[in-house]
Chain A
Amino acid sequence: MTTPVLTTADVSLASELRGRRLPRWAPAAVAAASLAVAGVLLGIGVIDGLVAFAVISALGFALGQSVYSFVVEGRRHAVDRLMTTAIYAAFVFALAPLVAILTTVLVRGLQVVNAEFFGSTMRNVSPIRPGGGIEHALVGTIEQVLAATLIAVPVGVLVAVYLVEYGTGRLSRAVSFFVDVMTGVPSIVAGLFIYTGLVLTFGMQRSGFAASLALLILMLPVVVRTTEEMLKLVPNDLREASYALGIPKWVTILKIVIPTALSGIITGVMLAVARVAGETAPLLLTTFLTQSMNWNLFNGPQASLPTFVWDQISSGTPASVDRAWGGALVLILFVAVLYIAARLLARAYAPKTR
């Protein structure tokens, strides 16, 4: 029986050092109390609705816990608990709209999305009648985004190669800076630029390809930036080993550096595609809307998913708003699949830096 026994003096010293704290059950108790109060308010009709109930409960919890903590633990811990609650609340605030958007799009969209929706155009479909589909818009979006990607990837990768492998001095810093600045160019300005630069100045017609060029301007900085990050992760040992074998620098870049970073570059490209696939504003400026199929990217009006949704909302009839939700569901799936695939790819094939 040599176990040390805590004396009363030790206990009081320990508690003096730690200060008085709320009991472990206190937050749960305060939460229960605030829920109860909000429930009573709901019951007697002072407030109504689930959202108001949640807000009142949360405010009650924050207030109740802070006051309780202030009395027992003092000001510093009360502030700490209040801020912790606020930070958790901020997170819920962010999740709520995301969940609301996804569920609304899913519920409303599934009402109209079926095989016919994918397989037919809006040709000869009256705005006030249900029916019709997005085939023409799907074709337009895929063609426009593909064309933008085919141009943006080589140019973007070359810019990134310049920044990482060749760039020194002021030019490289300027390029890097303006790539960053271009990520903030509003999408409608990209559309305006293509319109003024190509349609007004060179007489090019508004077409799907004009839309591709506008999307290109939005994609380019994203591709450059992600590729640059990936190229920087390629270990220098690989480059030096290649130089030591007498391989020219440009072959080293094409055969060693870029293949090593390839999965990361593909990820970046997919994120860029996901970002521009939903852009509406530049397409409204650079293409004409149509209800019919147009396979030709370079000539005539061409529909796309975002402008389809815009058109259906603008019609404003119940049937067309339903179609707008259907288009929104397809669009969000298109983007989400790309986005999630890109992230999974990035995780699976992250460059082995060492």
Chain B
Amino acid sequence: MTLRDPMPHDPLSAPERFLRPARIPEGELDSIVAPDTVPAEFHEPLGIEGQAVRRGDRVFAAISKGAGIFILVLTGAIGLFLAWKAIPALQSNSVNFFTTTEWLPDSTPPVFGIAALAFGTVMTSIIAMGLAFPIGTGIALFIAFYSNRRLSSALAFVVDLLAAVPSIIFGLWGLQFLMPRLEGPISWLSHWFGWIPLFSNPQNIYTRSILIAGIVLAIMILPTISAVSREVFLQVPQGHREAALALGATKWEVVRTAVLPFSKPGMISAAMLGLGRALGETIAVALILSAVFEINWNITAPGGNTFAANIALKWNEAGSNGLSALIASGLVLFVITLAVNMVARLIVARRREFSGANS
């Protein structure tokens, strides 16, 4: 595809090349002059001078290579700076950073831990994934195989437009529009399925819950999942699908037997890219959840908090140790999302064509 090795800029070799006839008629092979019989003066540079690689080329190559290395340095620097600035708080912490649910880093002695944050982050992301993965896959299937061809590019555009809506608007909409409208359905859920501990709601308050945050997150990551899955589905060789059709498969059987197995790795990484986005989403979650530092399994009740939301909410009221503690929690978030994204990318890397960065 790409031009890795262009024509060598080697003027010294050019005259030699000109000596060889371009095309040799069959019978004349014997009469070709062997290289060592070429008169010596033809080996001279023939007045063409200059260096093999020009200075401008060297400089430009070095600059662009430097820009590439800058990306690597940047990624490394993010981790290093966060770790460096997290150390003071972690050293001052009087309790276990990973198992404590409280967050009082500016008290003496400092008491803070990420257990509640980790729980909220994972729980909202699981709910978001549980909703968005099947729906996002469905959208991708619809656009790739079910809608007609002219409609599908317009539909893809509309779904991508959802990705362009800023998260603050999702937050505002979730808070002002969706939350009042979800109170009814969620109280219904809690009323009929309250015997499942997850859905029980002793206080009968159905706002600002992990479930609502998860639903808003699901809407936010839908475009990511559907865009990547769609590109994966379009890679399925037409022959596979036609073979299935020729065997009398229904449309769904074509999808199940030909499309899904082929696309499995791509779908997994689509899910993980969506997961990465859900884990790190800040503002929408910060607006919807009522920040509470406890592990509350009743996902329909108010409560919960996430790494990112906690940083945004506590930032301006934190003292120096508080900032350091927030940076420590940010480091944990960075490491988690980095790991999720790297795994997703390693799976995708086997087929370079779909990167998801264009979604």
Which residues of A are interface residues toward B (Cβ below 8 A)? 49, 51, 76-77, 79-80, 83-84, 86-91, 93-95, 97-98, 100-101, 104-105, 108, 155, 158-159, 161-168, 171-172, 174-175, 177-190, 192-193, 195-197, 200-201, 217, 220-222, 224-226, 229, 232, 236, 239-240, 243-244, 248-251, 253, 268, 271, 274-275, 277-281, 284-285, 306, 309-310, 313, 321, 324-325, 328, 331-332, 335-336, 339, 343
Check if B168 sits within 8 Å of A79, measured CB to CB. no
Please state if A180 and B173 are interface contacts (CB–CB under 8 Å). Answer: no
| B179-211 interface bits toward A, Cβ cutoff 8 Å, 1 = contact, 0 = none | 001001100000000000000000000000000
Q: Are B312 and A281 neighbours in the complex by a CB distance under 8 Å?
A: yes
- Min CB distance, B45 to chain A, in Å? 15
Whether a CB of chain A sits under 8 angstroms from the CB of B98 is: no
A163–B68 contact, CB under 8 A?
Answer: yes
B357 lies within 8 A of A197 (CB): no
Min CB distance A51 to B, Å, is 8
Q: Which of B71, B74, B173 contacts A101 (CB 8 A)?
A: B173
Given A80-B252, A175-B68, A243-B7: A101 and B165 within 8 A (CB)? yes
Q: How far is the CB of A41 from chain B (nearest CB, A)?
A: 14
Residues of B close to A240: CB separation below 8 A:
3, 6-7
- Produce 1/0 per residue, B99-124, CB < 8 A to A: 00000000000000000000000000
> Quick one: closest B residue to A233, CB to CB?
B1
CB < 8 Å neighbour of A278 from B166, B226, B340: B166
Q: Say whether A97 contacts B74, CB under 8 Å.
A: no
Q: Does B141 contact A (CB under 8 A)?
A: yes
The answer to whether B64 touches A158, judged by C-beta atoms less than 8 angstroms apart, is: yes
The reply to whether A90 and B161 contact each other, CB–CB distance below 8 Å, is no
Which residue of A is nearest B153, CB measured?
A: A347
The docked-state distance in angstroms from the alpha carbon of A271 to that of B358 is 9
Q: Are A94 and B226 in contact (CB under 8 A)?
A: yes
A166 touches B65 (CB 8 A): yes
The answer to whether B315 and A184 touch across the interface, beta carbons within 8 angstroms, is no
B290 contacts partner chain A, Cβ-Cβ < 8 Å: no
Report whether A175 and B69 are in contact in the complex, using a CB–CB cutoff of 8 Å: yes
* A250 with B146: CB separation less than 8 A: no
Residue B77 at the chain A interface, CB threshold 8 Å: yes
B289 smallest CB distance to A (angstroms): 14
List 8 A-B pairs, minimum CB-CB distance, nearest first. A278-B166, A186-B280, A90-B138, A250-B60, A184-B341, A225-B357, A158-B67, A80-B250
> Which residue in B75, B77, B139, B340 is a CB contact (below 8 Å) of A90?
B139
Q: Mark the stretch among B18-26, B78-86, B294-302 that contacts chain A.
A: B78-86
Q: Which residues of B contact A (CB under 8 A)?
A: 1-4, 6-7, 9, 54, 56-57, 59-61, 63-65, 67-72, 74-75, 77-78, 81-82, 84-85, 134-139, 141-143, 146-147, 155, 157-159, 161-162, 164-173, 175-178, 181, 184-185, 219, 222, 226, 250-253, 255, 273, 276-277, 279-283, 287, 308, 311-312, 315-316, 323, 326-327, 330, 333-334, 337-338, 340-342, 344-345, 348-349, 355-358
How many angstroms between the C-alpha atoms of A244 and B7 in the bound complex? Answer: 8
- Given the known inter-chain contacts A180-B357, A188-B308, A200-B85, please indicate yes or no for A335 contacting B164, CB distance below 8 A: yes
Query: Are B252 and A83 interface neighbours, CB within 8 A?
Result: yes
Q: Is the CB of B176 within 8 A of A178?
A: no
Chain B hits for A104, CB < 8 A: 173, 176-177
A186 touching B282 in the complex, CB below 8 Å, given contacts A229-B358, A343-B157 = yes
* Contacting residue for B61 out of A91, A101, A250, A331, CB 8 A: A250
- Known pairs A91-B143, A177-B342, A196-B327; list 9 more (Cβ under 8 Å): A83-B252, A91-B139, A162-B65, A167-B68, A172-B68, A186-B282, A188-B311, A201-B81, A225-B357
Knowing A180-B345, A196-B82, A229-B358, the reply to whether A189 touches B68 (Cβ < 8 A) is no
Main secondary structure of the interface of B (DSSP, over half): helix
Q: Which of B54, B176, B282: most chain A Cβ within 10 A?
A: B282
> Which of chain B's residues has its CB closest to A324's CB?
B172
- CB <8 Å contact, B357 and A331: no
B residues in contact with A200, CB < 8 Å: 85, 323
- A64 CB to nearest B CB, Å: 18
Whether the Cβ atoms of B71 and A76 lie closer than 8 Å is: no
In the complex, the answer to whether B168 meets A331 with C-beta atoms within 8 Å is: yes
Q: A158-B64, A222-B357 are in contact. Are A313 and B6 (CB under 8 A)?
A: no
Query: Among B9, B159, B345, B356, which residue has the most Cβ atoms of chain A within 10 A?
Result: B345
Q: Tell me which residues across on chain B come within 8 A of A76, comparing CB atoms.
A: 250, 253
CB pair A182 B71 closer than 8 Å: yes
Residue on B with the closest CB to A101? B173
| Residues of the B chain whose Cβ atoms lie less than 8 Å from the Cβ of A277 | 166
Query: Would you give the shortest CB distance from A273 to chain B, in whole angstroms?
Result: 11
A selection of 20 A-B contacts at a CB cut-off of 8 Å is A49-B184, A51-B185, A76-B253, A91-B147, A166-B64, A178-B75, A184-B341, A186-B280, A196-B85, A225-B355, A225-B357, A226-B357, A243-B6, A250-B60, A280-B283, A284-B312, A309-B169, A328-B168, A332-B166, A339-B161
A279: chain B residues at CB < 8 Å are 166-167
In the complex, the answer to whether A98 meets B161 with C-beta atoms within 8 Å is yes
Q: Is the CB of B337 within 8 A of A248?
A: no
A243 contacts which chain B residues (CB < 8 A)?
6-7, 9
Which chain A residues lie closer than 8 Å to B253 at the CB level?
Answer: 76, 80
A177 CA / B6 CA spacing, docked (Å): 24
Contacts of A89 in B (CB 8 A): 138
A95 to B: closest C-beta gap in Å: 7
Residue among A84, A183, A253 with max Cβ neighbours from chain B (10 Å):
A183
Check if A280 sits within 8 Å of B82, measured CB to CB: no
Query: Of B67, B280, B342, B348, which one neighbours A162 at CB under 8 angstroms?
Result: B67
In Å, the complex CA distance between A271 and B70 comes to 22
Task: Judge whether A280 and B166 touch: CB under 8 Å.
Answer: yes
Q: Is the CB of A217 within 8 A of B159?
A: no
Q: Within the assembled complex, what's the spacing in Å between the Cα atoms of A197 and B64?
A: 24
- Give the complex CA separation of A306 and B280 in angstroms: 18
Nearest-CB distance from B259 to chain A (Å)?
12
Closest Cβ of chain A to B227, distance in Å, is: 11
Contact across chains for A184 and B337 when beta carbons are under 8 A apart: yes
B4→A168 contact, CB < 8 A: yes
Inter-chain contact A77/B172, CB cutoff 8 Å? no
